[in-house]
Amino acid sequence: MVAAAVSDSKPTWEAKPKPTIDLSPSTPSSTGFLKFESQLMSAIDQRLGSPYRWGATGPNRFDCSGFVWAIYQATGINFERESARSLFAHFEPPPVEEQFKFGTLVFFSGLTHVGVVADEHGFYHASRRHGVIYSEFNDYWLKRIDGFRRVPLNVQVAQK
């Protein structure tokens, strides 16, 4: 794949839309949830472009589950660092209407890969070939989705 420059000087596979903030009644509290979303987006932005390394949790290299773990740790949401398959077993599925909501975990390829939903158009993940990137939910990825999980936000979000 040949990377073409976009307005923010990042290769096309790193071009990323900001997710639409949804203040649905299912959010714990509007103020707390907005703060969490902002912190999560900041944690993702800080890691975009980082190289992939199997088993790595950062600070400069990540595998897919290490990336997910690191961005939630950065927001003050603590859980054990586990494989994609274990994270799928550990967390509860979201309601269908929240599957493509920012922050939802999305699992692929027989539970061997995990990313974080940006919105209904794409997700963030650590790609073996490109490192931490944004990818669109194209036919390739949509055919490989195994399911979705939500990380519970009942842990105090870190004050920054």
What is the widest separation between alpha-carbon atoms in the chain? 43
121 an active-site residue? no
113 an active-site residue? yes
64 an active-site residue? yes
Distance CA 51, CA 72 (A): 19
Q: Among 79, 68, 16, 5, which residue's Cα sits nearest to residue 40?
A: 68
Catalytic residue among 90, 121, 125, 130: 125
Catalytic residue among 64, 90, 121, 130: 64
Tell me how far CA of residue 153 lies from CA of 34, 119, 120, in angstroms: 12, 18, 21
Which positions are catalytic? 64, 113, 125
